[in-house]
Amino acid sequence: MDAVNNFLIYIDGFLGSAIWFPTFLLATGIFFTVYLGFPQIRYFRHAIGVTTGKFDKEEAKGDTSHFQALATALSGTVGTGNIGGVALALHLGGPAALFWMWMTAFFGMTSKFVEVTLSHKYRNETEDGTMAGGPMYYMEKGLNAKWLAIVFAVATVLSSFGTGNLPQINSIASGLESTFDLDPLITASVLSLLLGLVIIGGITRIARVAAAIVPTMAMIYLIGAFAVIIPNIGNIIPSFLSIFSNAFSGSAAAGGFLGASFAYAFDRGVNRGLYSNEAGQGSAPIAHASARTDEPAGEGMVSILEPFIDTIVICTITGLVILSSGVWMDKFENEFQRADMSFVTGTYTEADADHVASLFSYLSGEESDTRSYSGQIELSDGVPQNTEAFTLIAARSLAENTVYSRDGVLINGPLRVVDGQLEDSTVVVTGDSLLHSVPLTTQAFTRGLFGQYGQYIVSIGLMLFAFSTAIAWSYYGDRAMTYLFGTRSILPYRIVYVLGFFTAALADTTVVWNISLITIVLMTVPNLVGILFMHKEMKATVADYWERTNRS
C-alpha cells in the first residue's frame, strides 16, 4: 500500500499538484467570464426563474424537471468535498486555501454554464428512450473530435469511481466508525445494498431520491454549523481577515500547523474547490442533459447556481466552523494512518522556525535539509526510547505521546524503519497530531452549542451528502458507458460500481483521496480544451436564446 500511495503521489505531481492545472482551470473560467460578460452575475436572477419552472414548455423533451436536474447535479457535488474536502484544504493550505476555493467557484459558475449549455445542445435520445448527454456528445458532434470524446468518456468512468464512489463511502465509514463505533463492514454492506436498489431504477429514481435528500441534508448541516459559529462569533472576523490577508502570501505556521506557501495554498484551494463544485470537470452536464427543455442556454443558466450553493455557501460555512473553532491547528489523539506517517532523522520542535520551514519543504517535496529516517525504534511497553534519533511526522504535524502496538498488544523491543516508513505494516501507531478531512470537521462541530452531540450531525450529514454523491456519479458513469459501449454495458457497470463502493469502505483514506486527485484531472482537461475550442458557438447560442426570450 505504501508503494501504491507513493506512486499516486508521484503521478499527481505532474497533474493536479502541478501549478499548470489549477492555473489552466482558473484561466478558463476567467476567459469565459470576461468573454460572455460576467454571466454568473447578469443571469443569476433569471437562473432562479428557470429553475422554478417559470419558462417551462409542456412539449419539451427530457426525463426530469429543472429542479430535479439541479438536485441531481448538486447531489453529485455536495458531498465529502463540503465536509472532508474543505477540512483537507485548510489542513494543507491554511486559511488562504478557502480564498482560492471561492475563486474556483466564482469563475467556475461561468465554466459550468458553458459546459452544460454545449452538452445539452448536443444531447442524444438513447435506445431505451432516455436522454443521454455530456461533453462527449458536443466533442463528437460540435468539434468533430470523436477521439477526444472517447478520452473524456473513459476518464468519466474512472472518475465515477475516483470522485463519486471511493471517497464517499470511505468517508462515511470512517465518520460512522469514529462517532458511533460502527464497524466499516456493516456500513459497507447496508449502504451498498441501498445504492444498488436506487441506481437500478435509472435517472428517474435517482432524480426523485436526490430531490428529496438535497434540501434535507442541507438543512441538517446548516443547523449544526451555525450551532458552532454562533458561540464562536467573535472569531468570525479574524477568520475572514486570515483568509484574505494570507491569500497571496500563504499561511504562516500556527499551533501544530507547519504553514503553507502561496503556491501550496493556491494549488490545494483550487484543487479542493474543483473537487467540491466540479465546475469544468464535465460531470454536471450529464445530469442536466436529462432536463425537460429545448433551451440549452436556459439549462446552462440553472447550473450557474451549483457552484454558488456548493462552494460559496456550504463550503464557506464549513470553513468558518473549522477556522472560528480553532481546531485546524490543534492536535488530537487518534490512530495514525500509514500514508500520513513519515519518520525523519533527528529531533525537531515547533518552537524552532528553521525546523518548521525545513519540515514544510520536506513534506511538500521541495529542497530541504530534512532527511528520511532509516534505522531502529527501541520500544518499551509501546513507548519509543531512542527519541533523539528520529521524529515522527503524522498528518503534516509533529506527533506527540506516541504508542506502538500490534493486535492490541503493546510492543517491546525494536522496530525497523526504512526510508521513513515502518517496515512492519501490522503495527498500529496512536498519539496526538493534527487531523484532516472528516475527523477535523467532526471535531469542529463539537465546539458549539451541541457539544459532543455535534459530531452526530456531521455523521448524519456526511452519510446523506456522500451517499447522494455516489448515486449521482453512478448515473454519470453509466451515461459514459452508454456512449462507449451502448446500453447493454449499463448493468455490468452498475454491478462493478456497487462492488467498488463496498470495497472502498475498508481502504486507506489518504490513498483514496490521492486516487480522486488524479481522476479529476484526467476528466477535466479534455473538457476544458473542448469548451475553449467552442467559445464562438457558445456566445452565439446565448445570444440566440436571449433574442428569442426577449421577443416572447
pLDDT digits (tens, 9 = 90+) for 472-500: 889 899 999 999 999 899 999 999 999 99
pLDDT digits (tens, 9 = 90+) for 261-291: 888 788 878 877 776 788 889 998 998 988 8
The chain-wide mean pLDDT, for the chain, equals: 89
Residue 407 — left, alpha, or beta (φ > 0 → left; ψ -120 to 50 → alpha)? left
Q: For the chain, what percent of residues have pLDDT higher than 70?
A: 97
Coil, strand or helix: which one is 61?
A: coil
Bridge partners of 416, per DSSP, are 376
Which residue segments constitute the domains of the chain, with CATH numbers given? 2-51+64-330+444-547 (1.20.1740.10), 332-433 (no CATH)
Q: Where are the beta strands (DSSP E) in 203-350?
A: 332-335, 341-345
Q: Give the whole-angstrom CA distance, residue 134 versus residue 123.
A: 7
Burial status of residue 215 (CB atoms within 10 A of its CB: 0-12, 13-18, 19 or more): exposed
Local confidence band at 360 (pLDDT 50, 70, 90 cut-offs): very high
Local confidence band at 213 (pLDDT 50, 70, 90 cut-offs): confident
pTM, whole model, 2 decimals?
0.85
Identify which has the larger pLDDT, 249 or 446: 446
Whether pLDDT at 509 is above 70? no
Q: Give the whole-angstrom CA distance, residue 227 versus residue 235.
A: 14
Q: What is the rounded end-to-end Cα distance, in angstroms, of the chain?
A: 61
